[in-house]
Amino acid sequence: MNIAAAFEPSMPGISPGIYDNDDFTAISEIAHREAGLVLPPGKAMLVYSRLAPLVRDSGCATFGSYVMRIREDNEERARAICALTTNHTFFYREAHHFEHFAQELRPDFVKRLERGGKLRIWSAGCSSGEETWSLLMTLLGPERNAGLAIAQRDVRMLSSDIAVHALHKASAARYRAEDLKPVPERLREAWCRIDGTDATIAPEMQALVRFRSLNLQGPWPMRGEFDVIFCRNVMIYFDTPTKERLVARFAQQLAPGGHLYIGHSERVTGPALEHLTSVGPTIYRKGDRR
């Protein structure tokens, strides 16, 4: 079947007959091998619409020639993979995770930091940053001065994603004021500057984060362990063996007693269960239940 014949493409320069099942199959194999992304046949049109602008910009006349290009050209392949990611996110998504963090983990973390200890947090698959800022606002808390004192301590957050365009938005730390609505009012007031319809995250909070481009399926350059890893709504795009390998790596990268938070429709299975204990809905602790 010629998939493209079934619809009217909207991109100038792209016409029916230039995208077929072989192209889709080749692209989904590349996306799976490179980034773990699973693209079932139902995603054929989505792949078309996400990649058509890149095919046009690359000067390739057909998806077939674009497939040959991305096989050879690492940079273009990385661009194609970015375009195939889904970056939907929002502030305070799955609020129960932030409530758990605030009630169960934050008090000990604050004590630890006050005693001169360190805290390391990773948002793996942070997209455009809403998860990062929600978590940091929760850590610093509603009292601005107390929060600034915490921010002076040894706290660092790594926020990573494979999608460079999403990381640009994350590190700009600017959003529409209405995007902040799900954040509890006192946290919003303490850590966001609202200017008409725009909102900016407090610079003291921005200083705690390093945004990095990182493919979770590739090597991880980080040596240290993390006390908290958020990897939410990322593994939904992966198959079971890929998910199981990834959570096993998260378990290794967690400090003893560290916590892993995953998305509402995700579950830890496989060898990682030897190390991770469920302590709440989609929340896991490394080691035995306390």
Ligand X SMILES: C[S@@+](CC[C@H](N)C(=O)[O-])C[C@H]1O[C@@H](n2cnc3c(N)ncnc32)[C@H](O)[C@@H]1O
Dihedral of the alpha carbons of 51, 53, 57, 60, in degrees to the nearest 10: 50
- Tell me, yes or no, if 161 is annotated catalytic: yes
Burial class (CB in 10 A: 0-12, 13-18, 19+), 69: middle
Closest to ligand X by CB, 35 or 150: 35
266 binds ligand X (CB under 6 A): no
- Tell me, yes or no, if 288 is annotated catalytic: no
**Of 30-38, 66-74, 98-106, 147-155, which part binds ligand X (CB under 6 A)?**
30-38
Task: Taking the CA atoms of 231, 234, 236 and 242 in sequence, report the sign of the dihedral they define.
Answer: negative
Q: Which of 36, 129, 147, 258 binds ligand X (CB under 6 A)?
A: 36
Least distance CB 290 / ligand X (angstroms): 26
Helices marked H in the chain — which ranges?
21-35, 44-58, 63-72, 74-84, 95-100, 106-114, 130-140, 144-151, 164-172, 185-191, 203-206, 240-253
Structure tokens at 258: 């560290």
Tell me the number of residues near ligand X by CB under 6 A: 25
- Residues numbered 102-161 forming contacts with ligand X, rule: CB under 6 A: 125-127, 131, 161
- Residues 132/167, Cβ–Cβ less than 8 Å: no
Least distance CB 153 / ligand X (angstroms): 25
**Of 57-65, 69-77, 110-118, 162-170, which part binds ligand X (CB under 6 A)?**
162-170
Give the residues lining the site for ligand X (CB under 6 A): 35-37, 85-89, 93, 125-127, 131, 161-163, 166, 215-217, 232-234, 237, 263
